[in-house]
Structures are given as C-alpha cells and as structure tokens.
Amino acid sequence: MLMTLILYLVLGAFAGLAAGLFGIGGGLLIVPVLVFSFELQGESAAVLTHMAVATSLATICITSLSSIRAHQKRGAVAWHLFKPLAVGILVGAVIGVNTAVMLPGHLLQIALGVFVILVAAQMAFNLQPPQGSDAPGKKELVLSGGVIGWASSIFGIGGGTLTVPYLSWRRQEMRVAVATSAACGLPIALMGSVTNIWVGWDHPELPAWSLGYVYLPAFAGIIISSTPFARLGARLAHSLPQAVLKKCFAVFLLLVGLRFLLSNL
C-alpha cells in the first residue's frame, strides 16, 4: 500500500505540474496514467478504465476549488454565464457517467484514445475557433453545458478543454473564458463523482478501498501532491519555453492516444 500511495503522489505531482504549465486540466494526464497503473496492479479490465475516469473526477472536486478561488480574487469569473452552463453540466454529467458505464472497458479506451489525439493536435498546432458574431443566450448555454458535462464525465476531465474554446468562440475574452471554465469544473466533477460512486456501489470486480468506481488510495495521493505542484507549474510557465513544452506534451498525448487505439482495435 505504501508503494502504491507513493506512485499516486508522483502522479499527482506530474498532473499538477502539467496543469500549471499548460493551463489544462490534470485529468488529461491522470486518466491515462491511472489506466496504465491499474493494469499493472492487475485490476479487472471490466472496471479499470471506469475507475480511472471516476478517480480523476473525484480529484478535480478538490483541485478546482483553489483554481476558482484564485480566479474569483481577480473578478474574472462570469457568473451570469456559469449559472446556465452549470444547469446543463449537472444533467449532462449524470448522462455521461451512465453512458460510460454502458461502454465495455475497451470501447471506453478507444473513445479516450480518439479524444486524447484530438487534444494533442489542438495543442501542437494551437488550433482555436474563430470568434462568433454575438454572445450566447441562456438556452444555448444550458444546452452547451449539457454537452460539455456529458463529454467531460466520460473522459474524466474538468471540462476546460471544451469550455474554454466554446466561450472564446462565443466572444468572451480569454481571461473570462479560462476563469469561467475553471468554475465549471466543480459541478462537472461533483456530479460525475457522485454518479460514479452511486452506479459503482458494491460492484463485485472493484478492489478494496474503492468507493463506487473511485479508488481512494489514488484519490488521496493525487490530491496531496497536485495542488502545490500546480502552483510550481504556474511559476515555471513564465520562465520556460512554453511553446516547446506544449509540443512535447502533445507528442506524449499522441503516443498515449495511439496506445489506447492500437491495444483495443
């Protein structure tokens, strides 16, 4: 158990560092590495991918709080956008978890592989949508929140990968888009975690120390180390060649995505 906890402390440190350096959610790193570590631990293929997604969402419940607090101090969170987005997110996250549970582990890994490759391409080529002609209405925000919550809870991410481009496209300045996206990560993670605990409760193939699909040793190790290393990553981002680092991380994500695809096709 001690070696397992150390492994997750190291994972949390890397996830936090990546989040601080690149401004992305740590889930993009946490989910693939948890999948690989659960495979090495001999966990059942039927549940290990779902465990990785659920555990990632649970960690985001904690790590998103410090991010929201930091953005709120600067007055950057657009709460009038967050509220309708959150309504859709809460519904979408429940549907997303139930969608993921219906998928066999290998199909979920294929979907994850495709998503990670798309994110790698976006990072490598700095792809950004053009700004739209007007700001979004409430109905659009609720619907968009539903789609973001659905996809994010399937892939175990806080939604920044989807929310920031969407808000930027809908004519929100980048500072507001990033801050509001950070706030949206909390309802995604909370509802996704609660639903994963509910649907995974008493699953016969889950290991000891599991709360539904959330694996508690991984959760504890990651949250202990991710927050301080996220602060370090944010400081390093101002002194390191971020464009080069981003392309290196994109190559890492590409390799991870290809590994998921090639091992499951």
Single-letter amino acid code for the residue at 149: G
Condensed to tens digits (0 to 9), the pLDDT of residues 75-119 reads 889 999 999 999 999 999 999 999 999 999 999 999 999 999 999
Element (H, E) at 50: helix 48-73
Is-contact 90 193, C-beta < 8 A?
A: no
pLDDT for residue 19 = 73
pLDDT for residue 66 = 77
Helix/strand/coil for 240: coil
Q: In the numeric block, which tokens belong to residue 85?
A: 């987005």
Distance from chain centroid for Cα 235: 21
pLDDT for residue 25 = 67
Is-contact 122 265, C-beta < 8 A?
A: no
Distance between CA atoms of 30 and 14, rounded to whole angstroms?
9
- Regions of the chain with pLDDT less than 50: none
- Residues 6+ positions from 174 with CB-CB distance below 8 Å: 164, 168
pLDDT for residue 24 = 67
Model's pTM, two decimal places?
0.91
Distance between CA atoms of 243 and 22, rounded to whole angstroms?
9
Spell 28-52 as b/e; 16+ CB within 10 A means b. Answer: bbbbbbbbebbeeeebeeebbbbbb
pLDDT for residue 56 = 94
Is-contact 146 92, C-beta < 8 A?
A: yes
